[in-house]
């Protein structure tokens, strides 16, 4: 069994949805060493703009998500709600890379 936390750098390029990546971000925080970096992909991404997941290309999206969820930048929402409101993180690269504080 590994001693926790174990990672210096975590790149999050997941499902790009709140339901999946908010939990991913919480778990990444548990695994990230103080001084380590969280790096997020696709800050501006939406289901609405996705070539493969927009409702016109993949009708199930319209059944699984509300119109608001489809048009919302969910990675942005995760960063705004989960990361930026956590005083242990400072923004290193705007809307992308955040460093976890070395101090508790």
pTM of the model: 0.92
Q: 3-state class of 103 per DSSP?
A: coil
pLDDT of res. 102: 92
Tell me if 92 sits within 8 A of 101, measured CB to CB: no
16 HSE (CA, 13 A, CB side): 17
pLDDT of res. 104: 60
Pick from 8, 16, 18, 20: nearest CA to 41: 16
For 36-92, how does the pLDDT look when each residue is reduced to its tens digit (9 = 90+)? 999 999 999 999 999 999 999 999 999 999 999 999 999 999 999 999 999 999 999
Higher per-residue pLDDT: 31 or 2: 31
């Amino acid at each position: 069994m590994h001693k926790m936390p174990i990672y210096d750098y975590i790149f999050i390029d997941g499902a790009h949805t709140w339901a999946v990546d908010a939990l991913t971000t919480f778990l990444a925080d548990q695994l990230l060493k103080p001084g380590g970096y969280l790096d997020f992909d696709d800050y501006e991404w939406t289901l609405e703009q996705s070539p493969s997941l927009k409702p016109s290309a993949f009708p199930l999206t319209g059944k699984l998500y509300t119109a608001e969820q489809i048009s919302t930048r969910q990675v942005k929402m995760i960063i705004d709600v989960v990361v930026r409101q956590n005083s242990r993180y400072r923004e290193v690269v705007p809307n992308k890379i955040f460093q976890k504080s070395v101090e508790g």
